[in-house]
Structure 1
Amino acid sequence: MLLVFYRARYLLRCLREIYFPTLRQVKGNLDLDLSEKRNKRVLMIVHNDFFNAKGGVESYVLNLYNRIGKSKGGFDFYYLARVNNKNKKYGEIYKDKNKNNVFYINLSDGNIYSLVNQKLDNLFSEFIFKLQPDIVHFQHYIHFSLTWFRVIKKILPKTKIIVTLHEFLGICPNSGQMIKTKWQGFKLCDNSTVENCKNCFPYLPKDVFERRNINVRKYFKYIDLITAPSNFVLERYKSFGLKNKMLYSENGQEIFRTLPKIKSEKLRLLYLGQINKFKGLDVLLESMNKISNKEVKLSVYGKFQNDKNYNNKILKMVDKLQNVNFYGVYNRNQLPEIFSKHDVLVVPSIWWENSPMVIQESFMAKTPVLCSNIGGMKEKIIDGKNGWYFKVGDSNDLSEKINYFFENIGIFNNENFKVKNIKEDIKNLLKIYKDIV
């Protein structure tokens, strides 16, 4: 019965894309300088506006856009973000009334099993033709359509396309996590194949994944440069068979002021960030249940996601543990104070991760990190220098590492906590833009 439900939902989504009327909804006067003497134009595109979905990528892109727009790099910058605005028509592109060069496109969630919706091509082509960008930088492409890469090259053959990868969406239909679905026990996935994807989604026909892979390889050929803040992610895409030019480029961070550590005889652990089954908080709580040392404490800061069963599981575990305190949602302005009261950040994710912002934030605060030994997390850690890692999903190994931290917390040197700041990121990105045009 469950398989029938999922298959019906997929078919309805496909029918909506096939029969939805062709869209032509570019609103507002762009008021652009079309003279030859104008600066080169860069259009940044992101899958969600930060004020509608306050995720790590959204936060990074908005901050990058605001900061790079003030630089004297010889470029004019434009920003296009997806919103889900009930007061606007589906597909409408409109200009922000209070911000220069900021636009929104009103779209619902895209078809993650396809990544292609050619019904969106007309509205995007009209916008691109009016804007005439020299570079289009996709910070994400979920909810849009891979065909937009081809649209750009057909309308503006000289325009360069850059795509920054923040996860594995192009090679994994499970939200780009490269982790298997409940039908496969939520295990890590090492290889993106049609057979593996079919096993994860038994309610979908095999040709869905065959077409998906064909589309990714077909439309990614229009991309001039792929960047990612993780070599691990780039290697995964190379293994998938992509031949694009690829470049590692770490995300720059807005450096916050740090406060001196408040001294304590206890080992104060910190969990920081979203709470969902991929982030592995349950693994950390299991390890805390195995630690008898009363001098070890854990603080949990974060927001629950839309998974009632997992959320209830976490709350029940927290209620039973005397060595865990749950503080809920936090904002970035609180980070200096939060880190000043803690000794170690724990990142127990059971998926690969890309370049977790929370690790960068911990390094800013000169706080070592204990994380899972996979993917983009492990890549950030120099074992014994700025942190340690433990066997992913293994609460026994994690509890052993926590006890080891208790005995050896004083070995870390502040010189090992290096973070790329936003100014360095902008300088690097401007060089990439200048080189590519």
Structure 2
Amino acid sequence: MKILKVIHGFPPDYMAGSEVYSYNLVKALSKQVEEINVFTTVENEFAKKYEVYDEVYDEINIHRINKFRRDYAFEEKFHDENIESDFRRYLTRVKPDIVHFGHLSHLSTGLLSIVAKEYKLPIIFTVHDFWLFCVKGQLINQNFDICRGATAEKCHDCSPYQTTIKRVQEKLDYMRGIIDFINIFLVPSHTLRNYFIKQGVSEKKLIYSKYGFNTNKITYKKRYYDVTSSINFGFMGRVIPTKGIRVLIDALKNIDAQLSIYGNIGSQKRFLQQHNIQFKGGYDNNSINQVLSEIDVLIVPSIWLENSPLVIQEAFLAGIPVITSNIGGMKELVTDGVNGFLFDVGNAQSLQECIIKIIHNPSILNDLSVLKKDVRTIEDDANFVYGIYKRVSSY
């Protein structure tokens, strides 16, 4: 069985959640399938636009096409004939039996039609966010309120790209049409699955499948605290508004708690500085074990309906409890008072109360049950996905 994995970015150039997960899955699947290749983009300012090259990274065959992610026109975000032409050539060359998509942002939605109609191959699609129904992917508007339903007018107001309401409506209609080309969706959260069902996607196509992790990469440690213990709170990830950074900063005001932020912040640092916050800078997935060893409690204050945050499950692998917003995939992973604490999304006072509860009595952390076994291994994940491949290969 020959598999082609398609994803908008791939290590070592891109190391966000979906990219790292895709890398781990490809590595695990390579032990089960005859051949697996990766089709992805890269952003190399020293090369020509749409220049292509093949490379081997960590024994993975990768085909990269150069595409700059700045100055997009609205149409180019979703449809790119240059990407499609190269994709056809690559499909003809590697001759996969199944194409497994991870994301189409920065690529082209036309790739689905090419696979299904021209090459008549089955399609698996791992869903990482709401991008198929939302121009920004996060179902959150410019006022940072959760969007309760897409319309051309609302999406036009939200779009970071210059366009018209008519073009947005055409895009929404087109996206709903191409979804029919997908045989199976692998969805890591019930939140996302339920949303897709409400959008008219058949329940039979939507298979709940938790993310798998390289569990050997992170060291589990059971920690014990008493009333004198000093607690190190931590935030890990992209330092952007939808991650709830403003909520977190406000919650830390006027209380005796220490927070370390691990993530690239750039010129925005001066807007977030406080005496009890340390900015540790960015990190890559290879240093995650070291970062986690410096944290007692992880805070994930996102204000959007996160699908299934990898960082929460990585914290669990290290034995670290999590404070997080009470919505979406975050609420699915964290049970209040069991493996962490939930607070009202977007409410700095509610988050502050959780933090104060811990710093006033650190020993309450001893009563939590943060279990490594609750996190799926990448091997189990790959076995499950391989079973899906065998299922669709008979279509």
Q: Same fold (TM over 0.5)?
A: yes
Counterpart residue number, 1:168: 130
Partner amino acid, structure 1, of 2:55:
D
Separation in structure 2 between the aligned mates of residue 336 and residue 123 of structure 1, nearest angstrom: 38
Equivalent position of 1:424 in the other structure: 380
Q: Which of 250, 254, 258 pairs up with 2:210?
A: 250
Alignment of 1:152-167 (within 5 A): 152-157=115-120, 159-167=121-129
**Per-residue deviation at 1:396?**
0.6
TM-score for the superposition, normalised by structure 1: 0.80
Matched, 1:42 2:6: no
Q: How far apart are the structure 2 equivalents of 1:333 and 1:90?
A: 30
The equivalent residue for 1:53 is 14
Match of 1:102 among 40, 50, 62: 62
Contact 1:112 1:142 in 2 (8 A): no
Name 1:232's counterpart in structure 2. Answer: 191
In structure 2, the partner of 1:353 is 306
Distance 1:143 1:336 in 2: 31
Conservation of the 8 A alpha-carbon contact between 2:45 and 2:68: no
- C-alpha deviation, 1:155, in angstroms: 2.8
Residue 228 of structure 1: how far off its partner (Å):
1.8
Which of 364, 380, 384 aligns to 2:317? It is 364
Q: Deviations over 1:265-298 (max 9, x none)?
A: 123211112211111122112111142xx3x322
Aligned to 1:274: 238
Residue 301, structure 1, aligned to residue 262, structure 2? yes
CA distance in 1, matches of 2:349, 2:333: 23
RMSD: 2.4
Provide the TM-score with structure 2 as the length reference.
0.88
Counterpart in the other structure of 2:99:
136
Q: Which structure 2 residues correspond to residues 33-432 of structure 1 after superposition, within 5 A?
A: 40-69=1-30, 71=31, 73-96=32-55, 99=59, 101-109=61-69, 115-157=78-120, 159-174=121-136, 176-181=137-142, 185-201=143-159, 204-243=163-202, 245-255=205-215, 256-259=218-221, 261=223, 265-291=229-255, 294=256, 296-304=257-265, 308=267, 310-314=268-272, 317-318=273-274, 321=275, 323-406=276-359, 407=361, 408-415=364-371, 418-432=374-388
Structure 2's unaligned 5+ residue stretches are none
Distance verdict in 2 for CA 1:112–1:230, change over 3 Å: farther
Bigger mean CA offset, 83-92 vs 203-212: 83-92
Residue 149 to residue 111, structure 1, CA distance change in 2 (3 Å): farther
Cα gap change, 1:135 to 1:111, in 2 (>3 Å) = farther
Task: Give CA-to-partner distance per residue, 1:106-150, whole Å, 9 cap, x none.
Answer: 223365566123453332222212222110001111111111111
| Residue identity in the other structure for 1:166 | H
Determine if contact 1:258/1:336 at 8 Å carries over to the other structure. Answer: no
Asked if structure 2 preserves the Cα contact closer than 8 Å seen for 1:366 and 1:417, the reply is: no
Q: Is the 8 A contact 1:225 1:247 kept in 2?
A: yes
Please report how far the alpha carbon of residue 67 of structure 1 lies from its aligned counterpart in structure 2 after TM superposition.
2.8
The CA distance in 1 between the partners of 2:106 and 2:131, in whole Å, is 11
Number of residues of Structure 1 aligned to a counterpart in Structure 2: 380
Counterparts in 2 of 1:170 and 1:92: CA distance versus 1, 3 Å: same
Q: Residue type of the partner of 1:161?
A: I
Q: Secondary structure at the match of 2:132?
A: helix
Q: Deviations over 1:28-67 (max 9, x none)?
A: xxxxxxxxxxxx2100011013222221111111222123
Structure 1 residues 327 and 86: CA distance shift in structure 2, 3 A: closer
Does structure 1 conserve the Cα–Cα contact (< 8 Å) formed by 2:27 and 2:60? no
Query: Equivalents in 1 of 2:7, 2:163: separation in Å?
Result: 29
Structure 1 residues 216-274: Cα deviation after superposition (integer angstroms, max 9, x where no partner) = 01111111111121121122222223337111111111112234548561232111122
Change in CA separation of 1:393 and 1:276 when aligned onto 2, cut-off 3 Å: same
Aligned to 1:13: none
Q: Measure the CA separation in 1 of the matches of 2:54 and 2:308.
A: 31
The alpha-carbon distance between structure 1 residues 95 and 334, as it changes in their structure 2 partners (threshold 3 A), is closer
Q: In the aligned structure 1, how far is the partner of 2:41 from the partner of 2:271? A: 33
Q: Tell me if the contact between 1:83 and 1:105 (Cα under 8 Å) persists in the aligned partners.
A: yes
Q: Any idea what the Cα deviations from partners look like across 1:307-327, whole Å, max 9, x if unmatched?
A: x4x44311xx32xx2x33222
* Structure 1: 5+ residue stretches without partners: 1-39
Q: What amino acid sits opposite 2:125 in the alignment?
A: V
Higher RCO, 1 vs 2 (CA within 8 Å, ≥6 residues apart): 2
Which whole-Å CA distance do the structure 1 matches of 2:56 and 2:290 have between them?
A: 36
The DSSP-based 3-state class of the residue aligned with 2:181 is: coil
